[in-house]
Amino acid sequence: MIRHKVFAGLVLLSLTLLGGCFLVSAQMTIVYKAGDGAGMANQTVYSYHVDLNDNDDYEEHHDKIKNVEAFGFDVTITNQTANTASAEGYISFSEVVSPSVENIRTQATQVFSGIPLQPNETRAITYDDSQRYIERIDVIDEAIREGIVWFYVITDQGIRISSTGLTLVMTVNLEA
């Protein structure tokens, strides 16, 4: 009888220790409200200076981020013309000098594209909607670990837009 209790105790202890070996990571979702973009003079470009260090959750855990599990955004984009347009998003690790559509395309990395905008349409892009348009998760991953980036929303063909209420939602894997 004592042997069974000792054996059961050893099995239980082994499972507890072994189970602890598998708990090497955790996951966390960070929500960053970037607000309204700063429109350029011709309003074909909206820029957001994103400093994730302003977010308490990010600041507390940024040194433990292993990688980005999921990323998305919420934003409202308005096409202010009678022409169809397509919105694109870019990330840069430093501010683009003279941020025109051309300069952003050459100095930043495209991370989403193809958001169609009908003439005079206001379109709310939700987190779920944004999944269709996101590209280059590797660059987004690097940007999140870097913590400070410039995010640009532009349109094709010089179409005037407004971009408001940008919220970035990222789920990251953390080292335990």
Overall domain count for the chain: 1
Distance CA 121, CA 174 (A): 40
pLDDT recorded at residue 15: 44
Q: Is residue 43 part of a domain?
A: yes
Q: Is residue 7 part of a domain?
A: no
Q: Is residue 123 part of a domain?
A: yes
Q: What is the mean pLDDT of the chain?
A: 79
> Residue 108: which of 149, 67, 77 has the closest Cα?
149
**What dihedral angle (degrees, nearest 10) is formed by the CA atoms of 76, 99, 119, 129?**
-40
**CA-based angle 73:94:36, to the nearest 5?**
40
- Which domain CATH number covers 86? 2.60.120
Q: Is residue 56 part of a domain?
A: yes
What does the pLDDT average to over 8-12? 46
> Residue 150: which of 103, 116, 86 has the closest Cα?
103
Phi, psi values for residue 160, rounded to 5°? -75, 135
pLDDT recorded at residue 149: 87
What does the pLDDT average to over 129-154? 88
Residue 163 has pLDDT above 90, yes or no: no
Q: Is residue 10 part of a domain?
A: no
pLDDT in tens, 101-140: 888 989 999 998 888 888 888 888 899 999 899 988 888 8
Contacts of 10 (CB under 8 A, 6+ apart): none
Q: Is residue 102 part of a domain?
A: yes
Q: Is residue 16 part of a domain?
A: no
pLDDT recorded at residue 108: 92
Whats the size of the chain, residue-wise?
Answer: 176
pLDDT in tens, 25-60: 698 898 988 876 655 545 677 788 889 899 898 889
Reported pTM: 0.74
Q: Which domain holds residue 39?
A: 24-175
pLDDT recorded at residue 6: 45
Q: Is residue 9 part of a domain?
A: no
